[in-house]
Amino acid sequence: MDKLLEFLRRKRHWLLFVVMEVLALFVLFNTGLYHRVLGLTATNAVVGRVNTVMSQARSYMNLREENHRLMARIASLEGQYMQLQQQMSFAIADTVRPLVFVPDSTCLESPKLSFVTARVISATDHSLDNHLVIDKGRAHGILPDMTVMSDRGVVGVVASVSNYYAVVITLIHPKLKLSCRIKGSNYVGSLSWEDPADESNAFLSDLPNHAEVKEGDTVLTSGYSYTFVPNLMVGRVSSLKARSSNRDRGHNINLTGQSAFSTVSVKFATDFSRLRFVYVLRSTPVREAQALEDSMMIRNGR
């Protein structure tokens, strides 16, 4: 302490000099406008630069924390985005009215149909066992044999149901045959799909040979089914030429042939490779009629 005091005593002229200079400069920079402005400018420039450097340093030091915070924020926003996206998809799907019933002069009254919108959670379209799995089941009123539509046309039929899921056999399944007719006429044929390499086209066979069919004609469900109500959109005639295998098998030939029946190619209205949402028609399956027919067949068989 004594040494410090002694040092200060010896160098007191330095202390006095600093005090006097500071006092003089303080007065200089705080009284005259010119010097005050210059002083403020210089001070601001220096302080601003120091603040910038300090701010950058602080930002750099806080980058890890900031990064964690941003990652958490991104995760939160991603979750919200996915939730909104899903809600939006369902909302859009609910606003699309499926093209299920095509008015026709042969059908005076349109059936009252209600739908359950379901999301496709699994689909196969390149095998001989094509089917869909949808995220609605018995708990949502889905029952076996209900018709499944897309916003374009018929997709298939509900095959089995659990509480919250259902399996749908699609039209591109070789075992599913659908009775169809050409719109504007009562000519009925049987629609079937056989070619795993082509999931967009099927064959409408057993059409009367004299039927007037043109390419582009609309193909609808005929209603001769316990599952599908009439006049549901199925597709359009894409070609009048019959497949050679059918000709070879002697089932049908083309419309100008001598066979009693003919076959046309039908392009599905539904794109089975792009199905995201489907609509299950909550029509009551005509189980009673089917049971009656079955009992008749058993009785006749006996």
Partner 1 sequence: MDVRKIIIAFVAVLMAILQPWVFSPIYFAGLATPFPYLLILMLLPVDTKQTTMLWYGFGTGVLIDVIGGTPGLFTAALTFSAFVRKYLILLFLDREVSVTQPPSSTNLRSGFFLFLLLLVSIHLGVLMFLDALTLFDALYLLRRWGSSVLLTYIILILLYFLLPIAPKKD
27 lines the binding site for partner 1 (CB under 8 A): yes
Site for partner 1 in 218-247 (CB under 8 A): none
13 lines the binding site for partner 1 (CB under 8 A): yes
**With contact defined as beta carbons under 8 Å apart, do 202 and 266 qualify?**
yes
Quote the tokens at residue 139.
């708990």
Those residues whose C-beta lies under 8 Å from the C-beta of residue 203, and which sit 6 or more positions away, are 191, 192, 193, 194, 242, 243, 246, 263, 264, 265, 266
Q: Which of 28, 77, 88, 296 binds partner 1 (CB under 8 A)?
A: 28
Give the Cα separation of 158 and 30 in Å (integer): 90
Give the Cα separation of 218 and 193 in Å (integer): 17
177 lines the binding site for partner 1 (CB under 8 A): no
Give the Cα separation of 69 and 172 in Å (integer): 50
297 lines the binding site for partner 1 (CB under 8 A): no
Q: Which of 35, 119, 247, 282 binds partner 1 (CB under 8 A)?
A: 35
Beta bridge partners of 266: 202, 237
Nearest residue (CB) to partner 1, 9 versus 299: 9
Please identify, among the stretches 34-42, 85-93, 141-149, 164-172, the one whose residues bind partner 1 according to the rule CB under 8 A: 34-42
The count of other CB atoms within 10 Å of the CB of residue 264 is: 26
32 lines the binding site for partner 1 (CB under 8 A): yes
Nearest residue (CB) to partner 1, 20 versus 77: 20
**With contact defined as beta carbons under 8 Å apart, do 150 and 275 qualify?**
yes
46 lines the binding site for partner 1 (CB under 8 A): no
Q: Which of 6, 21, 66, 271 binds partner 1 (CB under 8 A)?
A: 21
72 lines the binding site for partner 1 (CB under 8 A): no
Tell me which residue of 192, 190, 194 sits closest to 179, measured CA to CA: 190
Please identify, among the stretches 9-17, 63-71, 191-199, 256-264, the one whose residues bind partner 1 according to the rule CB under 8 A: 9-17
Alpha-carbon dihedral angle through residues 294, 297, 298, 301, given to the nearest 10 degrees: -160
256 lines the binding site for partner 1 (CB under 8 A): no
Residues that bind partner 1 (CB under 8 A): 12-13, 16-17, 20-21, 23-29, 31-32, 35, 38, 42
